[in-house]
Chain A
Amino acid sequence: MQQPNSSVRFDAVTVRYPGTDRNAVDGVTLEIPHGSFTVLLGPSGCGKSTLLRTVNRLVVPVSGSVYVGGSDVASLDPVALRRRIGYVIQAVGLFPHFTVAQNIGVVPSLLRWNAERTAARVDELLALVNLDPDRYRARYPRELSGGEAQRVGVARAIAAEPELLLMDEPFGAVDAIVRSSLQDEISAIARRVRATILFVTHDVDEALRLADRIVVMRAGRVEQYGTPLDLLARPASPYVADLLQTRDVVRRLGLLRVRDAMRPPAGDSDGSIAADASLRDALNQFLSGAQRLGVREAQTQTGILEFDDVRRALRA
């Protein structure tokens, strides 16, 4: 990538698999900004994985174009393109005859990094995904739990410092507790590596937890594209409202107090709210443009509240 730009643009992308009579992806146009964490959300068969796979040319559209960093991927060498793009799949797909270190070092070795640089990078990545390098680098995939294997899968995908990371239901096959810690880790990693992340899931909670932006898909089309706040507060259709169970969410917010979600006061705020107001009231203020609310209790500011705090309260 010449310019440090890994935005992704889909321009009227249509995919139809041979032997089927409907489009798996049907005229999707989208702009995914550089550096965002965008989740493609929808039920199985809605085309979200197919759309993702057009980005690294594992799937070729029948019409339309996909641009990565401004270049049409159809004009790029697929092998070189894929080496610049990290890719994580639900089935993990670690190579069973390679050690953990060799698996993580696959792309660096394809890019002909020297041995020391690769080894150092492997240790750095193992530490990043919370696996002790000394204990794990010489292991084989059969000696890993499901959660450990997917950590290695993530490390392998980001080994060569891709500016774009594609994740296809990466945590779908691990149990709920492990999934939750993997989600925390991927958020932390996303902030550190500052790559653009495209993340496919059918899990609404996962989407709300991780995304800056959510693309809701249905039958190959984009139903709604917006921030989690947009989707919760202004679902564009009954389908989106049902999928996100927005009525439930709003009702739950009505039962939760600002006091229980706020953090200690720090920095500026652009609005204020009472500590015993409901989070639904807070949501209304965020909807009208507030970013950061000062929380008042008996005339003094006792805390601050951001939309992320509301999101966190929903998960608790």
Chain B
Amino acid sequence: MSYLWTHLPLIAQLTGEHVRLVLCGLAIALAAALPLGVAAARKPALETPMLAAAGAVYTIPSLALLALAVQYAGLGFWSVVAVLAAYAQFVLIRAVTTALASIPARHAEAAEGLGMTAAQRFFRVEVPLAMPVFLGGLRVATVALIAIATLGGYVGAGGLGTEIFYGLSRQYPEQTLAGSIPAALLAIAADAAFRFWERGVRLRVTE
């Protein structure tokens, strides 16, 4: 493991790039999935085709999706971000629809009967009550994106994948591990952080 210890500054830099890829991918994914998910929850007729389309993207191997993205966006950061955003759609849209469906009818009825407008019902009641279930979906998506973002090393987008692919091509397992171990730790840390957040939010909305 001497490679890892002698290259700590590099690994730290790559970890930073990796996090940046994932955060950008997630941000764009959320910008699309939140409105789509809310629309699907409101109009059940939309839900099936929307999930079918997002599910089809989800089944494409991420490497193949990346090859496609490179055709349009070229090598580098934005291709990887596009793949991450597309790949997360299925999990995130479904997280929004199940989260909104998990709200007990009595809260929606009380909110409406007390005279909240549709926007007030959504932001004051539905969003807080939907949070625990939604965060579960966001956690799954984040962990998956941390793994997929290693593909960035393949197309010059940086991140921990760089070490993995160099190590593979040079048949130098220590360098591969110097990329894969921090990536795994990152995923484990993200999972733990989301679970902690989820538990806090769930406690707040327990009756």
Give me the interface of A with B, judged by CB distance under 8 Å.
56, 58, 79-84, 87, 89, 91-97, 106-107, 110, 141-142, 156-157
Residue of B nearest to A103 (CB): B110
Q: Which residues of B contact A94 (CB under 8 A)?
A: 110, 207
| Residue contact A96 to B207, C-beta cutoff 8 Å | yes
| Residue contact A56 to B113, C-beta cutoff 8 Å | yes
Q: Which residues of A contact B115 (CB under 8 A)?
A: 79-84, 107, 110
14 pairs from A and B in contact (CB 8 Å cutoff):
A79-B117, A80-B115, A81-B115, A83-B115, A89-B113, A92-B106, A92-B110, A93-B107, A95-B111, A96-B205, A97-B129, A110-B115, A142-B206, A142-B207
In the assembled complex, B13 has its CB within 8 A of some CB on chain A = no
Bound CA span A106–B112, Å:
12
**Interchain nearest-CB distance for B34 vs A (Å):** 20
Bound CA span A93–B106, Å:
5
| Residue contact B114 to A97, C-beta cutoff 8 Å | no
Contact of B114 (CB < 8 Å), options: A83, A96, A142: A83
Within 8 A of A (CB), among B145-194: none
**Interchain nearest-CB distance for A154 vs B (Å):** 13
Q: Which residues of B contact A96 (CB under 8 A)?
A: 107, 129, 204-207
| Residue contact A95 to B109, C-beta cutoff 8 Å | no
| Residue contact B106 to A110, C-beta cutoff 8 Å | no
Q: Which residues of A contact B206 (CB under 8 A)?
A: 96, 142
- Counting from the closest, the 5 A-B pairs by CB-CB distance are A93-B110, A82-B115, A83-B115, A91-B106, A93-B106
| Residue contact A87 to B106, C-beta cutoff 8 Å | no
Central interface residue in B105, B109, B110, B120, by most chain A CB within 10 Å: B110
Chain B contributes a number of interface residues (CB within 8 A of A) equal to: 22
In the assembled complex, B128 has its CB within 8 A of some CB on chain A = yes
Residue of B nearest to A141 (CB): B207
Q: Which residues of B contact A58 (CB under 8 A)?
A: 109, 112-113
Residue of A nearest to B201 (CB): A97
Q: Which residues of B contact A107 (CB under 8 A)?
A: 114-115
Give me the interface of B with A, judged by CB distance under 8 Å.
104-107, 109-117, 120, 124-125, 128-129, 204-207
| Residue contact A89 to B106, C-beta cutoff 8 Å | yes
Known: A106-B114, A110-B120. 19 other contacts (CB 8 A): A56-B113, A82-B115, A83-B115, A87-B114, A91-B106, A93-B104, A93-B110, A95-B107, A95-B110, A95-B124, A95-B125, A95-B129, A96-B204, A96-B206, A96-B207, A97-B205, A107-B114, A107-B115, A110-B116
Bound CA span A80–B116, Å:
9
Q: Which residues of B contact A97 (CB under 8 A)?
A: 128-129, 204-205
Once A96-B129, A97-B129, A110-B120 are accepted as A-B contacts, the answer to whether A82 and B113 lie under 8 Å apart by CB is yes
Q: Which residues of B contact A92 (CB under 8 A)?
A: 106, 110
Residue of B nearest to A111 (CB): B115
Bound CA span A58–B112, Å:
8
Bound CA span A142–B202, Å:
12
**Interchain nearest-CB distance for A76 vs B (Å):** 12
Q: Which residues of B contact A84 (CB under 8 A)?
A: 115
Contact of B109 (CB < 8 Å), options: A89, A141, A142: A89
Central interface residue in A56, A94, A96, by most chain B CB within 10 Å: A96
Bound CA span A92–B109, Å:
10
**Interchain nearest-CB distance for B103 vs A (Å):** 10
Bound CA span A218–B109, Å:
25
Q: Which residues of A contact B113 (CB under 8 A)?
A: 56, 58, 82, 87, 89
Bound CA span A265–B115, Å:
48
Q: Which residues of A contact B205 (CB under 8 A)?
A: 96-97
Q: Which residues of B contact A142 (CB under 8 A)?
A: 206-207
Q: Which residues of B contact A81 (CB under 8 A)?
A: 115
Central interface residue in A79, A84, A157, by most chain B CB within 10 Å: A79
Bound CA span A110–B115, Å:
8
Bound CA span A82–B120, Å:
14
Residue of B nearest to A84 (CB): B115
| Residue contact B112 to A82, C-beta cutoff 8 Å | yes
Bound CA span A93–B107, Å:
5
**Interchain nearest-CB distance for B132 vs A (Å):** 11
| Residue contact A93 to B129, C-beta cutoff 8 Å | no
Bound CA span A87–B110, Å:
8
Q: Which residues of A contact B129 (CB under 8 A)?
A: 95-97
Bound CA span A83–B115, Å:
5
Bound CA span A156–B106, Å:
15
**Interchain nearest-CB distance for B107 vs A (Å):** 5
Bound CA span A92–B115, Å:
15
Bound CA span A242–B158, Å:
81
